[in-house]
């Protein structure tokens, strides 16, 4: 039995899946049986659960063939679109599955509540479900906020001790409710990252500078995608031109510096549960 949930729990739902019996009876088949029991018509039941007429018949045939007793009975010329109805065995199966659904739902709600009581697990799961178009997602905690009349600089410390500065507006600072100690996520576009192999010989206006090692370089006809491993264990992707990659002689194992301006990171916060 794999696991599913359609929970009424007000907390977050981390565990999901599908209740399945004997690797054949699942929510789709049971939904069709329920619709047949209510409508007395395969055609109407198929429309109700979003199946074609042929698809509904295939499910019924599979259910009838796989069960020790016939689950669905059909007769031509019935008063309800052909006289389709559940047999006694079909109704018994429907009642059994309904009861199991309730027990299954309660079981999964209990598991989700137990996960919600573990802060470390919740933090891990929150980070896993973040979805964004930005190639780079880095997590850390806010260690300082320096605000002036217009903007604010938020300093985020990564798990390896590195710090990133993000500049945001006072409005964003207020709307996000940022506080020192809060968990944060930084979204950084790969095209906004600059790379250098020797920052000591140049002057850069970018205040964010992180050291790392190249672990992979992927090139197409125009660009080069460079994946850098930071000391904290996070990886960053930088998109540069092929010419730049060639000039820097980038290859796996080489040390590089990752640089980007403070207005590049998009800052998000992890909401407490």
pLDDT in tens, 223-273: 999 999 988 888 899 999 999 999 999 999 999 999 999 999 988 876 554
Q: What is the pLDDT of residues 88-130, one digit of tens each?
A: 888 888 888 888 888 877 777 776 666 666 656 555 555 544 5
Q: What is the pLDDT of residue 4?
A: 32
Q: What is the pLDDT of residue 272?
A: 52
**For residue range 40-55, what is the model confidence (pLDDT) as tens digits?**
888 888 888 888 888 8
**Per-residue pLDDT averaged across 139-157, rounded?**
90
Cα–Cα distance, 228 to 206 (Å, whole number): 18
Tokens 């000591």 locate to 200
pLDDT of residue 117: 62
Q: Which two tokens stand for residue 184?
A: 């944060």
Which residues have a Cβ under 8 Å from the Cβ of 137 and sit 6 or more positions away?
A: 130, 185, 186, 187
Residue 212's nearest CA partner among 230, 225, 224, 199 is 230
Q: Kindly state the greatest CA–CA separation across the chain.
A: 90
Model-wide pTM > 0.75: no
Residues in the chain, total: 273
Least confident of 76-85, 98-107, 138-147, 166-175: 76-85
Higher pLDDT, 203 or 196: 196
Domain spans, the chain: 27-117, 128-269
Protein fold of 128-269? OB fold (Dihydrolipoamide Acetyltransferase, E2P) (2.40.50)
Contact 188, 228 (CB under 8 A): no
CATH number of 27-117: 1.10.10.10
Q: What confidence tier does 139 reach under pLDDT thresholds 50, 70, 90? A: confident
């Amino acid at each position: 039995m794999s696991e599913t949930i359609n929970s009424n729990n007000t907390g977050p739902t981390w565990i999901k899946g599908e209740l399945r019996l004997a690797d054949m009876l699942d929510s789709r088949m049971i939904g069709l049986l329920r619709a047949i029991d209510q409508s007395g018509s395969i055609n109407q039941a198929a429309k109700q659960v979003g199946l074609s007429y042929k698809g509904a018949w295939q499910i019924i045939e599979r259910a009838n063939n796989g069960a020790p007793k016939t689950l669905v009975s059909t007769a031509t010329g019935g008063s309800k679109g052909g006289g389709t109805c559940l047999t006694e065995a079909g109704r018994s199966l429907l009642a059994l599955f309904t009861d199991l659904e309730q027990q299954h739902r309660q079981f999964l709600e209990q598991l989700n509540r137990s996960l919600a009581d573990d802060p470390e697990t919740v933090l891990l799961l929150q980070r896993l479900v973040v979805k964004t178009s930005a190639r780079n997602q880095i997590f850390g905690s806010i260690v300082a906020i320096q605000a002036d009349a217009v903007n604010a600089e938020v300093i985020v410390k990564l798990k390896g001790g590195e710090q990133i500065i993000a500049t945001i507006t006072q409005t964003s600072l207020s709307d996000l409710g940022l506080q020192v100690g809060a968990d944060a996520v930084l979204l950084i576009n790969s095209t906004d990252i600059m790379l250098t192999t020797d920052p000591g010989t140049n002057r850069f206006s970018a205040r964010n500078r992180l050291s790392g090692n190249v672990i992979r370089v992927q090139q197409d006809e125009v660009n080069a995608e460079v994946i850098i491993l930071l000391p904290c264990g996070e990886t960053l992707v930088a998109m540069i031109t092929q010419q730049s990659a060639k000039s820097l002689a980038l290859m796996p194992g080489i040390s590089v510096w990752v640089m980007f301006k403070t207005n590049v990171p998009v800052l998000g916060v992890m909401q407490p549960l």
